[in-house]
Chains A and B, each alone.
Chain A
Amino acid sequence: MKIIKYEKIVEEVKNMCIKATHELKDDVVNALKNAYEKEESPFGKEILSQILKNIEVAKEDNRPLCQDTGFAVLFVEIGEDVKIEGGSLKDALIEGIRKGYTEGYLRKSIVEDPLRRKNTGDNTPPVIHFDIVPGDKLKIVFEPKGGGSENMSAFKMLLPGEGKEGVKKFVIETVKKAGANPCPPIVVGVGIGGTFEYSAFLAKKATARPIGHRHPDPFYAQFEEELLEEINKLGIGPMGLGGRITALDVNIETYPCHITSLPVAVNIQCHSDRREEVIL
């Protein structure tokens, strides 16, 4: 049995909030540099150069990369042999988010009620996806999810017979419809299978995968590359002003599904593909 202190979790989550909103991972920076090299549109190239410069300026000026520091989404895997001391895991995660967003001067973008819309003032609550796994580790992935890209997400129940082509058509349609709004070049998360709600979860989880990491099943790895190629034929380009690079990557997550169903969810991540991870 491993004991992890409540305070330790709070501190780690707080630090993740600040780090993830101020600097991008190497895989994202490299993907943006690569996009800059490949882009043919003069506007697209100029925009990508400003996006790359913004990464430097955020560091130099100690400001978040983007003013929308997102809805705090957490993927938490807790080992069966882990015990939290000093409080509950959920409380520790929420407190970490609260501290991260207030002490880190991050934007508070959460309203306490979807219709009455009063801001909670500290960016809580987060959305937390828990999973219980064997072992004695606690893994926390933090993804601050911007609203502009989130708003362009879509879900559809396809007929099983529509198969791969149906999924492809729906993904392309969704990205085309999103156009300039989700801040391209984007990362496209696709969830296929499971139930109605589970496919949406899978799509979100897919956006959290590092750029360039392919699905372990060669069938889906190939499908990811095929989708990426098709999306980059749309011509949307950086910021939607036209160009070759509309998406930096496409990630697919799948799950078994019912004989009558083929659920597909698409979640879009902006070019500020921010995330952080800690294993305790």
Chain B
Amino acid sequence: MSVKKITTPLNEDIVLSIKAGDPVYISGVIYTARDAAHKRMIEDYQNGKNLPFDLKGQIIYYVGPSPAKPGQIIGSAGPTTAIRMDPYTPKILEFGIKATIGKGGRGKEVVEVLKKFKAVYLVAVVGAAALISRSIKKVEIIAYEDLGTEAVRKLEVQDFPTICAIDAYGNNLFEKGVKEFGKL
């Protein structure tokens, strides 16, 4: 396992160099969005409105951070369950997103669209939210402020730690791991 350090925005070469099981450290800008923000982005698109940011080559982090205390940049900011975003993922990848970060597995359809659009699914360590926050250097709410913790935030990160769980070739670390250790 050699650590891959990547910087956003991502191009196809970078995405294709990432394999399931690789530790991936991200630097640059990433955007946050959960269920409510995904729903709204797609509604905005269908209504002919502009999307809140240019999604091409970008990364979406599924997170709803806790509020920052005085003097802090952000509160705790660990990943939320990715499968809830599955219904929106084909469209988001079509818009140009190259990686999503969450926790837990994804449905079969997402594995297929990751292959189709050449994108990856990364996982951040669940419940290690305080630790993850240390790699977040700047935060700015850029859209849907009324959604509170679910608003779209632009994060500047440095060596944000993830592991590639599903790569653009259809390899799925969840399946492989459970097969290896399962006895039932």
What is the interface of chain A, defined by CB distance below 8 A to chain B? 40-43, 47, 50-51, 53-54, 57-58, 61-69, 105-109, 117, 119, 121, 147-148, 151, 172, 176, 179-181, 183, 230, 233-237, 239-244, 270-272
Contacts and interface: CB of A to CB of B under 8 A. Distances in A.
B103 A183 contact: yes
Given A67-B76, A107-B64, A240 B128 contact: no
Nearest to B23: A46
A67 B69 contact: no
Given A67-B76, A240-B104, A105 B68 contact: yes
Interface stretch (B6-14, B91-99, B137-145, B174-182): B174-182
Given A50-B131, A54-B128, A65-B127, A242 B177 contact: yes
A49 B124 CA distance: 14
Contacts of B81: 147-148, 151, 181
A107 B130 CA distance: 13
A236 B182 CA distance: 7
14 contacts: A54-B125, A58-B130, A62-B69, A66-B76, A67-B77, A105-B68, A107-B149, A119-B148, A181-B83, A233-B184, A235-B180, A241-B177, A242-B177, A242-B181
B129 A235 contact: no
Contact of B133 (A63, A68, A106, A243): A63
B67 A235 contact: no
Contact of A272 (B123, B127, B165): B127
Nearest to B148: A119
A249 B123 CA distance: 25
A271 B127 contact: yes
A181 B86 CA distance: 13
B149 A65 contact: no
Contact of B182 (A40, A42, A107, A233): A233
Contact of A108 (B21, B80, B131, B149): B149
Contacts of A244: 181
B127 A66 contact: yes
Q: Which of A61, A243, A270 has the most CB of B within 10 A?
A: A61
Interface string B148-184: 1100000000000101010000000110111111111
A148 B102 CA distance: 12
A181 B65 contact: no
A109 B75 CA distance: 14
A183 B79 CA distance: 10
B174 A240 contact: yes
B78 to A, nearest CB: 5
A135 B171 CA distance: 60
Interface in B68-121: 68-69, 72, 75-78, 80-81, 83, 103-105
B76 A181 contact: no
Nearest to B67: A105
Given A65-B76, A233-B184, A107 B133 contact: no
